[in-house]
Structures are given as C-alpha cells and as structure tokens.
Amino acid sequence: MTHTVLTALALVLAAPAAAQTVPAQVEQLRDSALHDEHAWDITEGLTTEVGQRLAGTEAEARARAWAVAKLKAMGFANVRVESFDMPVWTRGAESAEIVAPFPQKLVVAALGNSASTSPEGITGQVVGFETLADLVAAPDAAVRGKIVFVSHAMPRTQDGSGYGYFGGPRRQGPGIASKKGAIAIVIRSIGTDHHRNPHTGVMSFPEGVKPIPAGALTLPDAEQLQRILKRGRPVTMRLTLVSQTGHGQSGNVIAEVPGRDPSLPPVLAEVLAGTPEPFIQVIFDLEVDRTTAGRACLIGDAAFTARPHIAVGTAKAAEDAWTLAAALDVASGCEVVEALGAWSRQQIALGTAAVARSREAGTRLQNGTWSVGEPLPYGLYRLGDSSLADE
Ligand SMILES: Cc1cc2nc3c(=O)[nH]c(=O)nc-3n(C[C@H](O)[C@H](O)[C@H](O)COP(=O)(O)OP(=O)(O)OC[C@H]3O[C@@H](n4cnc5c(N)ncnc54)[C@H](O)[C@@H]3O)c2cc1C
C-alpha cells in the first residue's frame, strides 16, 4: 500500500518535469521572436515619424495614415480605417511650483481629462495624503479650498501588477477630491521609474462631479513634496494645467489575414485567399420555353445558360449558330418561321438537357459526392464531345 502511494507520488512529482520539455517548434518560435526586431521597428517608426498622437487630434490622423501604409507594406489584406467621432482633450502649458515655504519648481503633467486652470494658474495650500483611503477618510473641511496631494507606495514588481492596484489615486482621486471641495489635485505618478518624466494617464470625473485641474508629479518631485510637507509648515503651490476639450475624429486601423471557409473546395479557397479584393458575381441557370418569336431567335446563353459545371456553354452557343444556319439554309421565303420553329424545339431539348446535367454536377460537387477518378461530365451531347482532343 505504502509502496503504491509512494509510486503515485513519484509520478505526480515527475509530471511537471516532463511538462517542461519544450517542443522544437515552440523553441523555434520563441527563439525567432527573441531575435526578430519587427515589433521594435514598428514602435520605433511610429514614435519617431509621428510622435505624440493624442486620440482625435491631427497627429493621431497622421498616425492612422502611417499605420495604414505600414500594414499594407507588411502584406495585410483589406487595410482600412473605421472612423468615429469622440470627445477630444488636449494639453497645453503645464507647471507646478512651491511658492512657500521653500520656493522651487516641480515637474508635472496634467492627467487626461483634467479641468483647465487659467494661463496664470491657481495658487493654494497643499494637503497631503499617503493613500487614497486617507483622502476618503479625511473630513471635507480638511480638503475644501486646498490642493490635494496623494502619494502611494507602489512597489516594483516583475509583472507590473502594482500599476492596477495603486492606480486608484489617478482614477478615483480627482473625483473624490472634487467632491470634498478641493480646488485641484496632484498625485505621485503611478509608476516606479525614478526619473523626472511625469507618468500621466486618463481619468474621468463621475457624473455630476465638477471637474478640477488634476496632474501627476514625477516620483522625485512627489518625494520632494512629501519631505517638504513633513517639515510641518503650511505649503503653498502654484499649479498651471491648461487644457482644451472639444470634439474630433478618431478611427480604428483594421488589417486582415483572410481566413478560409472550410466548406469551399480547396482550389476555390486558394484563389479567394490570393485575391486582394474578391468580388461576388452570382451565376445561375437560365431555361426558357421558347427561343423564337416570329423571325427573331435566341441562341447561346441568351437562350439557355447552364452554370459552367459541364463546360459546354461555348459548344452550345456554336451549335446553336451552326444548326440555325443549317435550318435557314433549307428554308426559303415564307418557310423561315416554320424552319425556326423546328430548330427551336431541337435547341430547347438540347438546352434543357444541358441545364439538367449541369445542375446534377453542381449538386454533387457541392455536397462532395464526386469520386476521385470519376470522369468529368463534360460534353454537349455525349461525354467528351465538346472537348478539344489532345494531339
Ligand atoms: C465562370 C464561367 C466559366 C465558364 N467556363 C466555361 C467552359 O469552361 N467551357 C465552356 O464551353 N463554357 C464556359 N462558360 C460558359 C460560356 O462562357 C458561355 O456559355 C458562352 O460565352 C456563351 O456565349 P454567348 O455568345 O451566348 O454569350 P456571351 O459570351 O455572354 O456574349 C454575349 C455578348 O453580348 C454582349 N451584349 C450584351 N448585351 C448587349 C447589348 N445590349 N448590346 C450589345 N452587346 C451586348 C455582351 O457584352 C457579350 O459580349 C463559362 C461561363 C462562366 C461564367
């Protein structure tokens, strides 16, 4: 019994090791992805040749044109832009400075959808909170008329998971501060890069909440502000975040790798896949019950059209013309109408038979009941009689 359990345990323990064997194809994919610089080239090209491209702006329109050209050059099919209107927010002049007690400049960027200050900015006393929860818990009186500052302790993790968890100050902070009567809010950038490039991002105010200016300080600047606040003296900040809101046009850039309809015959699927802009032309059978009216007559496809499953359309058109000429050759004067009548009955029989065989062939082709090696049903009267013989 013990032996059985130990054996089972050994098998279970061995399983992960076996699962770690990487198939050669996967290894090849992984290695080529690690050496392939295509993704980098796309990112580098877009950011160098277009640059900043806020949604709905003229720069974003240039980015779309860039992407369309790039995707076409890469061989994608049906590359196109799907346009739509959207609210557009654009940033303008941005600055922050401590006015007192230790005058100095801070580096700030407006959060997307921030309200605008006047070009001269606003000046107010800073009230600091280490977490969003602290801001939520603060009495309105502690916040009203002030510039809120929210810090946080986002850790650096390999998978970047802190970004979502510590994003609250950016996403909800401005709305909460506004509801409590703050005149503006600045947050410590949501990120862990310790340089003086502020990390911004979009936020929105809940329905009915008055938008206020909202910005993100770089990590070194946020830490500087924390140190200043720790001195315990009133801290005054001048904040300028000029922005504009309006409407503009944006668009999705769409490119396709066309798939294949498994119900299509392989040859047709291949032709479709290789056609950049396929179009559909419906082809249908046509049958008539008369091909003459007085001295007028119909020949070829105008009289009968059989879908091309039996490849007799041209032979029938020629046969119609030959037999018509022969019928007229024997007729003279008033016998023409009668001659046409006799010819017509013959051609209706031929056309009806051709359409019937074509239908049967089409049905068998579509429901896959054609056997390999079975002769194709080509022929106007008999199999093979309308095909050109090999020399
Ligand atoms: C996809 C496909 C594959 C086919 N494969 C085969 C095959 O392998 N073998 C085979 O034998 N047959 C095949 N056919 C059938 C064959 O093409 C036709 O049966 C044949 O061309 C009919 O000849 P027609 O002279 O009667 O008509 P058409 O070839 O259609 O000629 C009619 C002409 O009249 C012109 N026209 C129309 N209206 C007017 C007007 N008001 N004024 C002036 N001119 C006008 C048209 O532009 C056209 O040039 C195929 C057909 C299709 C659609």
> What is the position in ligand 1's atom list of the atom closest to the CA of 283?
53
* More confident: 190 or 374: 190
Q: Is 298 in the pocket of ligand 1 (CB under 6 A)?
A: no
Would the pLDDT of 370 be above 60? yes
Region of 75 on the Ramachandran plot (φ > 0 left; ψ -120 to 50 alpha; else beta): left
3-class SS of residue 242: strand
Regarding the beta carbon of 334 and ligand 1, being less than 6 Å apart is answered: no
317 close to ligand 1 (CB < 6 Angstrom):
yes
**Does residue 300 line the site of ligand 1, with CB under 6 A?**
yes
Question: Ligand 1 within 6 A of 321 CB?
Answer: no
Instruction: Check whether residue 79 and residue 91 sit in a common domain.
Output: no
Radius of gyration of the chain measured on its C-alpha atoms: 39
**Strand partners of residue 118:** none
Same domain (yes/no): 345, 299 = yes
Q: Is residue 305 part of a domain?
A: yes
234 — pLDDT class (breaks 50, 70, 90): very high
If you average pLDDT over residues 265-277, what whole number do you get?
A: 80
Does 372 fall in a domain?
A: no
Domain shared by 226 and 189, yes or no: yes
If pLDDT is split at 50, 70 and 90, which confidence band does 332 have?
low
315 CB under 6 A from ligand 1? Answer: yes
Closest-CA residue to 215 (of 235, 238, 192, 236): 238
**Helical residues (DSSP H) of the chain, grouped into ranges:** 2-19, 24-35, 38-49, 58-73, 132-137, 140-143, 162-165, 168-171, 173-179, 219-230, 266-273, 313-330, 336-366
**CB-based contact 112:57 (threshold 8 Å):** no
CATH of the domain at 349: 3.50.50.60
- Using DSSP, state whether 140 is helix, strand or coil: helix
Using the predicted structure, report yes or no on whether residue 312 has a pLDDT greater than 60. yes
Same domain, 232 and 358: no
> Do 290 and 173 sit in the same domain of this protein?
no
pLDDT by residue (tens digit) across 283-309? 889 999 999 998 899 999 999 999 888
How far, CA to CA in Å, does 91 sit from each of 140, 219, 244? 29, 21, 7
Q: How many C-beta atoms lie closer than 10 Å to residue 303's C-beta? A: 22
15 has pLDDT over 50: no
Q: Which atom of ligand 1 is nearest to the CA of 320?
A: 26
Average pLDDT over residues 150-168: 90
Check whether residue 246 and residue 358 sit in a common domain: no
Question: Can you tell me the distance from the alpha carbon of 372 to that of 378, in angstroms, rounded to the nearest whole number?
Answer: 16
Give the 3-state secondary structure of residue 302: helix
Residues 66, 72, 74, 76, Cα dihedral to 10°: 130
Alpha-carbon distance of 343 to 304, in angstroms, equals: 14
Question: What pLDDT does 19 receive?
Answer: 56
Token readout for 229 is 């606040």
Identify whether residues 68 and 115 lie together within a single domain.
Answer: no
301, 357, 385: which to mutate for ligand 1, most atoms within 8 A of CB? Answer: 301
Residue minimizing CA distance to atom 7 of ligand 1: 311
Residues 222 and 94 in one domain: yes
Whether the pLDDT of residue 3 is over 50: the answer is no
Q: State whether 211 and 235 are in the same domain.
A: yes
Binding site membership of 339 for ligand 1 (Cβ less than 6 Å): no
Query: Is residue 119 assigned to a domain?
Result: yes
Collapsing DSSP to helix, strand or coil, 33 comes out as helix
Query: Is 308 domain-assigned?
Result: yes
pLDDT for the residue numbered 11:
42
More confident residue, 238 or 370: 238
Contact 50, 62 (CB under 8 A): yes
**Confidence band (pLDDT; 50, 70, 90) for 266?**
confident
Q: Do 238 and 97 sit in the same domain of this protein?
A: yes
For 79, phi then psi, to 5°, come to -75, 125
For the whole model, what pTM was predicted?
A: 0.55
Would you list the DSSP string of 322-364?
HHHHHHHHH--GGGHHHHHHHHHHHHHHHHHHHHHHHHHHHHH
From 195-199, 213-217, 325-329, the region with the lowest mean pLDDT: 325-329
In a domain, 142, yes or no: yes
Q: Is the CB of 301 under 6 A from ligand 1?
A: yes
pLDDT digits (tens, 9 = 90+) for 162-178: 888 899 999 999 999 99
Say if residue 4's pLDDT is above 60: no
Domain count of the fold of the chain: 3
Percent of the chain predicted with pLDDT > 70: 92
Q: Find out whether the beta carbon of 318 lies less than 6 Å from any atom of ligand 1.
A: no
Q: How far is the CA of 298 from the centre of ligand 1 (A)?
A: 13
199 confidence band (pLDDT: 50, 70, 90): very high
Read off the pLDDT band of 387 (50, 70, 90).
Answer: low
User: Could you tell me the distance, in angstroms and rounded to a whole number, from the CA of residue 310 to the centre of ligand 1?
Assistant: 15
Instruction: Give the closest residue to 320 by CA, choosing from 299, 334, 339.
Output: 299
Could you tell me if 155 and 241 lie in one domain?
Answer: yes
Q: Does position 39 have pLDDT exceeding 70, yes or no?
A: yes
CB 284 within 8 A of CB 359: no
| pLDDT for 121 beyond 50 | yes
Is residue 331 pLDDT above 70, yes or no?
Answer: no
Q: Show the domain range for 352.
A: 281-366
**For residue 132, which amino acid is it?**
L
Which residue in 27, 41, 216 sits closest to 111, CA to CA? 216
